[in-house]
Protein backbone atom coordinates (compact mmCIF):
# COMPACT_ATOMS: atom_id res chain seq x y z
CA UNK A 1 0.00 0.00 0.00
CA UNK A 2 1.45 3.36 -1.05
CA UNK A 3 0.80 6.25 1.29
CA UNK A 4 0.55 9.63 -0.42
CA UNK A 5 1.07 12.76 1.64
CA UNK A 6 -0.59 15.81 0.13
CA UNK A 7 0.81 19.28 0.67
CA UNK A 8 -1.70 22.03 1.32
CA UNK A 9 -1.76 24.66 -1.41
CA UNK A 10 -1.43 27.08 1.47
CA UNK A 11 2.24 26.10 1.55
CA UNK A 12 4.92 26.67 -1.06
CA UNK A 13 7.18 23.91 -2.36
CA UNK A 14 10.24 25.25 -0.51
CA UNK A 15 11.84 22.53 1.68
CA UNK A 16 11.61 23.47 5.35
CA UNK A 17 14.78 23.93 7.37
CA UNK A 18 13.46 22.75 10.76
CA UNK A 19 15.27 20.11 12.80
CA UNK A 20 14.02 16.48 12.72
CA UNK A 21 11.19 16.08 15.23
CA UNK A 22 10.42 19.80 15.45
CA UNK A 23 6.69 20.43 15.16
CA UNK A 24 6.95 23.83 13.45
CA UNK A 25 6.23 22.11 10.14
CA UNK A 26 3.04 20.55 11.52
CA UNK A 27 1.85 23.90 12.84
CA UNK A 28 2.61 25.53 9.49
CA UNK A 29 0.42 22.91 7.80
CA UNK A 30 -2.49 23.55 10.17
CA UNK A 31 -2.33 27.29 9.53
CA UNK A 32 -2.04 26.77 5.76
CA UNK A 33 -5.00 24.38 5.67
CA UNK A 34 -7.08 26.86 7.65
CA UNK A 35 -6.37 29.71 5.26
CA UNK A 36 -7.41 27.52 2.32
CA UNK A 37 -10.56 26.25 4.04
CA UNK A 38 -11.65 29.78 4.94
CA UNK A 39 -10.92 30.87 1.36
CA UNK A 40 -8.74 33.77 2.49
CA UNK A 41 -5.31 32.67 1.25
CA UNK A 42 -5.29 35.26 -1.54
CA UNK A 43 -5.81 38.16 0.87
CA UNK A 44 -3.70 36.98 3.80
CA UNK A 45 -0.50 38.61 5.02
CA UNK A 46 1.82 36.68 7.34
CA UNK A 47 4.32 38.37 9.62
CA UNK A 48 7.43 36.28 10.32
CA UNK A 49 9.47 36.59 13.53
CA UNK A 50 13.10 36.36 14.48
CA UNK A 51 13.74 32.85 15.73
CA UNK A 52 13.46 29.34 14.34
CA UNK A 53 10.55 30.48 12.14
CA UNK A 54 12.47 33.41 10.70
CA UNK A 55 12.03 31.93 7.20
CA UNK A 56 8.30 31.28 7.60
CA UNK A 57 7.66 33.72 4.75
CA UNK A 58 9.29 31.14 2.44
CA UNK A 59 6.77 28.46 3.40
CA UNK A 60 3.36 30.15 3.55
CA UNK A 61 1.88 30.62 0.08
CA UNK A 62 0.64 34.13 0.80
CA UNK A 63 2.09 37.62 1.08
CA UNK A 64 4.43 38.01 4.03
CA UNK A 65 6.53 40.56 5.87
CA UNK A 66 9.57 40.03 8.07
CA UNK A 67 9.65 41.85 11.41
CA UNK A 68 12.42 42.84 13.78
CA UNK A 69 12.82 40.65 16.85
CA UNK A 70 9.63 40.79 18.92
CA UNK A 71 7.97 43.45 16.78
CA UNK A 72 5.64 41.26 14.73
CA UNK A 73 2.46 42.52 16.50
CA UNK A 74 3.42 46.13 15.74
CA UNK A 75 4.10 45.28 12.09
CA UNK A 76 0.82 43.35 11.89
CA UNK A 77 -1.01 46.31 13.44
CA UNK A 78 0.29 48.62 10.73
CA UNK A 79 -0.63 46.22 7.92
CA UNK A 80 -4.12 45.57 9.27
CA UNK A 81 -4.91 49.25 9.80
CA UNK A 82 -3.79 50.16 6.28
CA UNK A 83 -5.45 47.09 4.72
CA UNK A 84 -8.40 46.27 7.01
CA UNK A 85 -9.87 43.78 4.52
CA UNK A 86 -6.77 41.62 4.61
CA UNK A 87 -6.33 38.72 7.00
CA UNK A 88 -3.17 39.38 9.00
CA UNK A 89 -1.41 36.97 11.31
CA UNK A 90 1.88 36.73 13.17
CA UNK A 91 3.76 33.49 13.72
CA UNK A 92 6.01 33.83 16.77
CA UNK A 93 8.10 31.72 19.13
CA UNK A 94 8.32 32.10 22.87
CA UNK A 95 11.60 34.02 22.86
CA UNK A 96 10.28 36.42 20.23
CA UNK A 97 6.83 36.94 21.75
CA UNK A 98 7.26 36.39 25.48
CA UNK A 99 10.67 37.99 26.00
CA UNK A 100 11.82 40.85 23.76
CA UNK A 101 8.32 41.18 22.29
CA UNK A 102 6.30 41.11 25.50
CA UNK A 103 5.49 44.83 25.36
CA UNK A 104 4.36 44.49 21.75
CA UNK A 105 2.00 41.57 22.33
CA UNK A 106 0.45 43.00 25.50
CA UNK A 107 -0.30 46.37 23.93
CA UNK A 108 -1.62 44.87 20.68
CA UNK A 109 -3.97 42.81 22.84
CA UNK A 110 -4.87 45.83 24.97
CA UNK A 111 -5.80 47.79 21.85
CA UNK A 112 -7.89 44.88 20.60
CA UNK A 113 -6.11 44.80 17.26
CA UNK A 114 -8.08 42.61 14.86
CA UNK A 115 -5.18 40.27 14.12
CA UNK A 116 -4.45 36.60 14.78
CA UNK A 117 -1.34 35.39 16.59
CA UNK A 118 0.06 31.86 16.36
CA UNK A 119 2.37 31.53 19.37
CA UNK A 120 4.71 28.52 19.37
CA UNK A 121 5.95 27.61 22.85
CA UNK A 122 8.79 25.10 23.09
CA UNK A 123 10.03 26.39 26.46
CA UNK A 124 13.47 27.36 25.15
CA UNK A 125 15.34 29.62 22.74
CA UNK A 126 15.71 27.40 19.69
CA UNK A 127 17.63 29.27 16.99
CA UNK A 128 20.30 30.86 19.18
CA UNK A 129 21.52 27.78 21.04
CA UNK A 130 19.06 26.67 23.69
CA UNK A 131 19.13 29.47 26.26
CA UNK A 132 16.54 29.83 29.03
CA UNK A 133 13.35 31.50 27.83
CA UNK A 134 10.54 33.13 29.84
CA UNK A 135 8.62 29.89 29.25
CA UNK A 136 11.37 27.50 30.43
CA UNK A 137 10.08 25.18 33.15
CA UNK A 138 11.37 25.18 36.70
CA UNK A 139 14.18 22.62 36.85
CA UNK A 140 14.59 22.50 33.07
CA UNK A 141 18.26 22.69 32.06
CA UNK A 142 19.31 25.08 29.29
CA UNK A 143 22.63 26.46 28.10
CA UNK A 144 22.18 29.46 30.41
CA UNK A 145 20.68 27.45 33.29
CA UNK A 146 22.69 24.19 33.18
CA UNK A 147 21.51 23.21 36.66
CA UNK A 148 17.90 23.84 35.70
CA UNK A 149 15.74 26.93 36.05
CA UNK A 150 15.37 28.00 39.65
CA UNK A 151 12.44 29.87 41.15
CA UNK A 152 14.93 31.78 43.26
CA UNK A 153 16.28 34.59 41.14
CA UNK A 154 14.86 33.33 37.82
CA UNK A 155 11.24 32.95 38.80
CA UNK A 156 8.50 30.69 37.48
CA UNK A 157 7.68 30.39 33.78
CA UNK A 158 5.44 32.99 32.19
CA UNK A 159 1.97 31.80 31.14
CA UNK A 160 0.97 33.96 28.22
CA UNK A 161 -2.61 32.72 27.73
CA UNK A 162 -3.57 33.21 31.34
CA UNK A 163 -2.17 36.74 31.26
CA UNK A 164 -3.71 37.87 27.96
CA UNK A 165 -7.09 36.42 28.86
CA UNK A 166 -7.39 39.07 31.57
CA UNK A 167 -7.18 41.88 29.01
CA UNK A 168 -10.61 43.27 28.18
CA UNK A 169 -10.09 43.70 24.44
CA UNK A 170 -8.98 40.13 23.68
CA UNK A 171 -11.56 38.03 21.83
CA UNK A 172 -10.14 34.49 21.72
CA UNK A 173 -7.24 33.01 23.67
CA UNK A 174 -6.48 29.27 23.63
CA UNK A 175 -3.64 26.86 24.36
CA UNK A 176 -3.26 23.66 22.34
CA UNK A 177 -0.66 21.03 21.51
CA UNK A 178 0.27 18.88 18.51
CA UNK A 179 2.07 15.98 20.22
CA UNK A 180 -0.70 13.44 19.46
CA UNK A 181 -3.22 13.14 16.64
CA UNK A 182 -6.25 14.00 18.85
CA UNK A 183 -4.40 17.05 20.20
CA UNK A 184 -3.39 18.03 16.67
CA UNK A 185 -7.02 17.94 15.56
CA UNK A 186 -7.95 20.14 18.50
CA UNK A 187 -5.20 22.56 17.56
CA UNK A 188 -6.58 22.82 14.06
CA UNK A 189 -10.04 23.70 15.40
CA UNK A 190 -8.60 26.40 17.68
CA UNK A 191 -6.50 27.93 14.91
CA UNK A 192 -9.51 28.01 12.61
CA UNK A 193 -11.63 29.63 15.33
CA UNK A 194 -8.97 32.30 15.87
CA UNK A 195 -8.98 33.24 12.19
CA UNK A 196 -12.78 33.20 12.12
CA UNK A 197 -12.78 35.74 14.94
CA UNK A 198 -10.69 38.04 12.78
CA UNK A 199 -13.00 37.50 9.81
CA UNK A 200 -15.92 38.52 12.00
CA UNK A 201 -14.04 41.60 13.28
CA UNK A 202 -14.22 40.36 16.87
CA UNK A 203 -10.74 41.58 17.80
CA UNK A 204 -7.46 40.14 19.00
CA UNK A 205 -7.03 36.36 18.95
CA UNK A 206 -4.10 34.18 19.97
CA UNK A 207 -3.49 30.43 19.90
CA UNK A 208 -0.53 29.13 21.89
CA UNK A 209 0.78 25.82 20.53
CA UNK A 210 3.01 23.67 22.73
CA UNK A 211 5.84 22.45 20.54
CA UNK A 212 8.94 20.25 20.71
CA UNK A 213 12.62 21.17 20.41
CA UNK A 214 14.50 17.84 20.28
CA UNK A 215 17.83 19.47 19.38
CA UNK A 216 18.03 21.84 22.34
CA UNK A 217 16.21 19.53 24.74
CA UNK A 218 18.79 16.82 23.97
CA UNK A 219 16.05 14.26 23.29
CA UNK A 220 14.97 12.13 20.36
CA UNK A 221 11.83 13.17 18.47
CA UNK A 222 9.77 10.45 20.17
CA UNK A 223 11.19 11.30 23.60
CA UNK A 224 10.35 14.95 22.94
CA UNK A 225 6.69 14.13 22.33
CA UNK A 226 6.60 12.28 25.65
CA UNK A 227 8.31 15.25 27.35
CA UNK A 228 5.53 17.53 26.16
CA UNK A 229 2.93 15.18 27.63
CA UNK A 230 4.70 14.61 30.92
CA UNK A 231 6.19 18.03 31.61
CA UNK A 232 4.67 20.80 29.53
CA UNK A 233 1.00 19.90 29.87
CA UNK A 234 1.05 20.05 33.69
CA UNK A 235 2.80 23.43 33.55
CA UNK A 236 0.73 24.78 30.66
CA UNK A 237 -2.83 23.41 30.88
CA UNK A 238 -4.58 23.17 27.54
CA UNK A 239 -7.90 24.83 26.90
CA UNK A 240 -9.78 27.95 25.85
CA UNK A 241 -8.92 30.79 28.21
CA UNK A 242 -11.20 33.37 26.64
CA UNK A 243 -13.91 33.27 23.99
CA UNK A 244 -16.18 36.28 23.66
CA UNK A 245 -18.64 34.11 21.74
CA UNK A 246 -18.67 31.37 24.35
CA UNK A 247 -18.78 33.50 27.47
CA UNK A 248 -15.39 32.46 28.86
- Give residue-wise pLDDT tens across range 76-134: 999 999 999 999 999 999 999 999 999 999 999 999 999 999 999 999 998 888 899 99
* Alpha helix (H) residue ranges in the chain: 24-37, 72-82, 94-95, 102-111, 151-154, 160-164, 181-199, 214-217, 221-227, 233-235
Task: Determine the Cα–Cα distance for residues 147 and 140; give it in Å rounded to an integer.
Answer: 8
CA of 127: how far to CAs of 11, 49, 116, 118, 198, in Å?
Answer: 22, 11, 23, 18, 30
Question: What is the pLDDT at residue 246?
Answer: 81
Calculate helix-pair angle for 24-37, 181-199, nearest 10 degrees: 50
Task: Determine the Cα–Cα distance for residues 133 and 96; give it in Å rounded to an integer.
Answer: 10
What's the pLDDT band for 3 if we cut at 50, 70, 90?
A: low
- For residues 89 and 184, is the Cβ–Cβ distance under 8 A? no
pLDDT(153) > 90:
no
Question: What is the pLDDT at residue 4?
Answer: 52
Q: The whole model's pTM is what?
A: 0.95
List the domains of the chain with CATH numbers: 24-243 (3.40.50.970)
Amino acid sequence: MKIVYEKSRGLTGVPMHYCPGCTHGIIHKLVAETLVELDVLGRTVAVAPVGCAVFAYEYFNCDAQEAAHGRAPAVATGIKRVHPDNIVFTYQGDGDLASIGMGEIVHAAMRGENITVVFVNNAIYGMTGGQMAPTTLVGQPTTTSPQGRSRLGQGAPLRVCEMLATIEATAYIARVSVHTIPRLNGAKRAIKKAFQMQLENKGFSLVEVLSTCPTNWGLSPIESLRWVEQNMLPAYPLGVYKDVEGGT
